[in-house]
Each structure stands twice: as C-alpha cells, then as structure tokens.
Amino acid sequence: MRVIRAPSLGRAHELVVKMILEKGYVLDTEDGEATAEFEETAITVDDPFAEPMASGRSRFGRRFLDSYADALLHGSDSVFEYDYHGRLFDWGQGLTCGGAEVHADQIAYIVKKLREAPESRRAVAITWNPPVDETLHDCPCLQLVQCVVRDGKLQMKVVFRSNDMLSAAGANMFALAHLQKAIADKLEIPCGAYTHISLVPHVYYRRDINDIPPFCKEGTEIAPIPEVCRACGRCARSRQV
C-alpha cells in the first residue's frame, strides 16, 4: 500500500493524481472505460480544513464542492441509483426486519456510540447493501466510514473499493471532511486527522482527458505514462513518448 501524507486535501489530490499518471498501469474496465490504475493507496491529512481544501487544478470549483458537501449532509432532490446521504443517514433501501422497513441512521449511531464510549472502535457506518448493490450498474464506491476519538480529537477513516482520483476524489474528500466536522461538532470536540483509503485508485484518462493538462502542466510537473500522453496529444512531450 502506498501512503501519501499531505498538508491539505487539495495538495493530497494533486499528489495522488501525479502518482497514478506517472506510475499507473493501463486497464480497460468491465464497462470498456480506459483507465490508468494503481495499487491501494492511503491518503492522510492531519488537518482536513487546512487550505487549500480543494486543488485549483480541479474542474470543480468551491461552489460545486460546497453544494456536494451539503447534499451528503442533508440530501438533495436529485434522483440517482444511490446517494451517500441515503446510505449513511437512512441505510436499508427497502429491506425489512421483523416485518418493518429498515431505516438505519448510521451517523446518529456513530455520535451516540462515541458519546457513550469515546475509546470505541465500533463507530462504523457502511454503504454496501448486497441485495441491492449486486445488481446495480452504478454501485457505491465509498464502502466504510469509521470515526475514532484519539487525543481529544475526532479522526475519520474512509474506505473506497474503487475511486476516480482525478475527477471525483477531490469532491469526495471535501464532502467527507465536512461530515467529519458535523460529527465532531455534535461531540463538541475538534477534528483530527482524515484518512482516505482507496483499494483501487484510478484515472479515466480518455474520458476525462480535458482534466489532465491543468495537473500535468504540459509535462513540466507530471510526466505521465506514454498511453496517457498519447491520448492527450497536447504538448511536445506527447509527441516524443
């Protein structure tokens, strides 16, 4: 597992994109999408609210990120196959138990558990629901959220089974850090470190080719693998690899 420690979420986003573009291997997904993929990676940021929380190289600006974080915390009117707010605050998706529908507010459980036992390692929320997700075309990437209280601060650790590190990870980290703060505020303690684990980090280097140049700066800051450069074809380096 590769470990990236960064002073901010925005810088962490830039470092993980650089690592995948320079060291990744190409693989077409089961949906036929061309990706550059890398081994499992853990990103840790000691202060998730240090600026920049978002990289200026990402196509998603602060207004979009604030809206995305709000949707995670409070839900939205948009309709998707799934959404993280529902999976975390109202897990169940049609399941029944004892004849009643299941509606599990896992975030409320985390707060309750850590109020009762701050040393607990059981303050965990999951998103995966086998009866539902095994047949979904677009199933959850985020799998698990764990919160622990250590040294008087709330740490959050999240696990993604798969993570689009170029276009999605910046928004994911931003929104989940705000979830961390919402939980910490309820517990009346400060935020500690945020750790973001991706079991299969990747970049869609053809689909999102327009998002790559702001990160690589014509090969001056990132030297992508040949397949990525050839797909881009926008600078002198791409014609030499």
Is 216 one of the annotated active-site residues of the chain?
Answer: no
- Give bridge partners of residue 201 from the DSSP assignment: 163
| pTM score over 0.85 | yes
Q: How confident is the model at residue 238 (pLDDT cuts 50, 70, 90)?
A: confident
2-80+142-239 is classed CATH 3.30.572.10: yes
C-alpha span between 229 and 107 (Å, rounded): 43
Report pLDDT digits (tens) over 151-182: 999 999 999 999 999 999 999 999 999 999 99
**Catalytic-labelled residue, pool 139, 141, 191, 235:** 141
Nearest to 192 by CA among 114, 76, 98: 114
Q: How confident is the model at residue 215 (pLDDT cuts 50, 70, 90)?
A: very high
Helices (H), 24-129: 62-74, 84-89, 106-116
| 127: amino acid identity, one letter | T
More confidently predicted of 31 and 240: 31
Q: Where are the domains of the chain?
A: 2-80+142-239
Contacts of 20-25 with C-beta under 8 Å, sequence gap 24+, read 20/165, 20/166, 20/201, 20/202, 20/203, 21/203, 21/205, 21/212, 21/215, 21/216, 21/222, 21/224, 21/225, 21/228, 22/222, 22/223, 22/224, 22/225, 23/225, 24/202, 24/203, 24/225, 25/225
22-36, 88-102, 108-122: segment of lowest average pLDDT: 88-102
